[in-house]
A and B are shown apart, each in its own frame.
Chain A
Amino acid sequence: GAGVSQSPSNKVTEKGKDVELRCDPISGHTALYWYRQSLGQGLEFLIYFQGNSAPDKSGLPSDRFSAERTGGSVSTLTIQRTQQEDSAVYLCASSLFGTNHNEQFFGPGTRLTVL
């Protein structure tokens, strides 16, 4: 079956512009996660959606970052007024909550470059 997909694969934007990153999780997966990896850094948790529960936004680095998950499926991560330090690979993952201790399946990522 289809895995997690993300679009675009690469995004180059100018400082101050808004960007939207999309994630299509595996069909039926109830949990969806956003992470980012900045150059030379580890994987940084951003936000977590589980079913109809309020999302865990504790990892969002600033109020310029927001995410939505519509209809319990597709998610969009929005970064407003992008800054150069937002440049990173943004990864999305999904899991079937309660299965195999929430093993996560990752998408290919979106490489964001802010000039």
Chain B
Amino acid sequence: EVQLVESGGGLIQPGRSLRLSCATSGFNFVEYAMNWFRQAPGMGLEWVGFIRSKAYGGTTNYAASVKGRFTIARDDSESTAYLQMNDLQFEDTAVYYCTRGSPRGGSGIDFWGQGTLVTVSS
């Protein structure tokens, strides 16, 4: 059974950093890109970024709203993806979801994690 479990969310002050994890099981992690999305309270879905599989260079792509502040990484040995969030702002408050996707990134999104809530507040 494919599973994705996010962790690391919580209450954080503006300007601080937080790292989210997405632990996976039930599939061959190395073959897939990993995507991050978010959803602000009461709002729609927003793409954050993705990291391609190593076969496609393990490169990343980000939304403009987070580029330069957020970094996505992966540890294939642990089947885990990460979202490092620096200089957090109030508007980063959201539930963050990781998803599995096609190895090239950006497409073929099938399985989602349950999400983890990040609240940026002073």
**Are both chains from one complex?**
no
B residues with a Cβ closer than 8 A to A are none
